[in-house]
Amino acid sequence: YSLLAIDDAKMVADKLCMPFNVINYQDIFKEKVVDYFVNEYLQGRTPNPCVVCNRHVKFEALLNKALSMGIDYIATGHYARVEYANNRNRYLLKKAVTHEKDQSYMLYNLTQEQLSRTIFPLGEYTKDEVRDMALKYKLPVATKPDSQEICFIADNDYGKYVREHTDAKILSGNFVDIEGNVLGKHKGIIHYTVGQRRGLGIALGKPMYVVEIDKESNQIVLGDLQDVISKTLIAGNLNFISIPNIDSPNIDNIDKGLRVNAKIRYTAKEAPATIYPLEVKRVKVDFDSPQRAITPGQSVVFYDGEVVVGGGVIISSR
């Protein structure tokens, strides 16, 4: 996959008469993305490798390399926008003009320095307009299909990938119900995620959902749909963009919370919520209406209209 991508990029660079360089970040990618991805599944959480890759590889290692070469800015093909707000003295991350292709969710973890040196040329265009331009200039990737799923797992078999990249033993354990009654055996916690219904490998006569993954007991709790519905979550590993932090002096009446629209996964719809600062750099997020399958390890991203306020990693829900 990566070699084909390099070939495609070189053909485009040649077509546009641009210099072309390949930088090998395999070691950094393994350390920052692959090892994180594997460890999160081993801990019973569902990771978001694209967010981590953006922060540490594309917008840290790559940007640092560019700066060392005398390059002032990097440009990527993400569908998002960056603007400088004079009244806030901050760079803002905004949604793409075309919301159905918007990728700002995956970029919430970028720093002010990274945003100040980033250009998103596609943020003002629709996907069709981009393809039309590529066809107009006869770029060889004009009809290339959109990328899907996680780029470094070709067959989308996450469990298999984790097994192949860890020395840890993947042990079978018990499925239990909400009361702790044993329902059957699971094949290892790496194969499951909160909210999952299909592919559990157990028949109970009615739809059952993964409610909780308990790494310490190696148990997976199953329940009804109502058991994966929550109105509150706790998030950590926070990064704020449109404000310095959640308890900034310029936020009035923070004890009453900060109103936002929150998104609990890339494919989820935004939902009105109030966020409250907690100790140890965490926040509590109270949704106006119940949310389905709030999943530890995934990112929750906060919006104020078109603007990304910030986000964090989901720790728990209730």
**Which position has the token pair 């042990």?**
171
> The tokens of 19 are what?
């210099």
How far apart CA 252 and CA 265 sit, in angstroms, is 28
Confidence of residue 4 (pLDDT cuts 50, 70, 90): confident
Q: What angle do CA 58, 133, 55 make, to 5 degrees?
A: 10
Q: Encoding tokens for residue 73? A: 């800015």
The two tokens of residue 133 are: 């331009």
Kindly state the greatest CA–CA separation across the chain.
66
Instruction: Share the mean pLDDT of the chain.
Output: 94
Active site residue 50: no
Residues with Cβ within 8 Å of residue 192, at least 6 apart in sequence: 186, 200, 210, 213, 220
Handedness of CA 11, 119, 311, 313 (dihedral sign): positive
DSSP category for residue 87: T
For the chain, give every residue range classified as CATH 3.40.50.620.
3-137
Structure tokens at 227: 């058991």
The letter for the amino acid at 101 is K
Single-letter amino acid, residue 141: V
Judged on CB neighbours under 10 Å (0-12, 13-18, 19+), 227 is middle
Residue with tokens 């494919």: 267
3-state secondary structure of 163: helix
Calpha distance 130→18 (Å, rounded): 19
Q: Check residue 145 and give its pLDDT.
A: 86
The residues, any chain, with a CB within 8 Å of residue 33's CB and separated by 6 or more, are: 49, 52, 53, 56, 57, 152
The active-site residue out of 53, 228, 264, 309 is: 53
Mean pLDDT throughout 75-101?
96
Task: Report CA torsion sign: 23, 24, 29, 32.
Answer: negative
- Whether pLDDT at 167 is above 90: yes
Q: Categorise residue 287: left if φ over 0, alpha if ψ from -120 to 50, beta otherwise.
A: beta
DSSP-derived 3-state class of residue 93 = strand
Q: Is the dihedral of CA 30, 31, 33, 37 positive or negative?
A: positive
- Give kind and range of the element (H or E) at residue 164: helix 158-164
What does the pLDDT look like over 93-142, one tens digit per residue? 999 999 999 999 999 999 999 999 999 999 999 999 999 999 999 999 99
pLDDT for 149 equals: 76
* Per annotation, catalytic residue among 97, 134, 151, 153: 151
The CATH H-level superfamily of 3-137 is HUPs (3.40.50.620)
Is the domain spanning 228-317 CATH 3.40.50.2300? The answer is: no
The CATH 2.40.30.10 domain(s) of the chain lie at 228-317
What is the distance between the alpha carbons of residues 192 and 213, in angstroms, rounded to a whole number? Answer: 8
Range(s) of the chain covered by CATH 2.30.30.280: 171-223
More confident: 5 or 251: 5
Start-to-end C-alpha separation, the chain: 40
**pLDDT of 248:** 62
pLDDT tier at 178 (50, 70, 90 boundaries)? very high
Q: What is the pLDDT of residues 202-228, one digit of tens each?
A: 999 999 999 999 999 999 999 999 999
Residue 5 above 80 pLDDT?
yes
Q: The domain 171-223: what is its CATH number?
A: 2.30.30.280
* pLDDT grade for 256, boundaries at 50, 70 and 90: confident
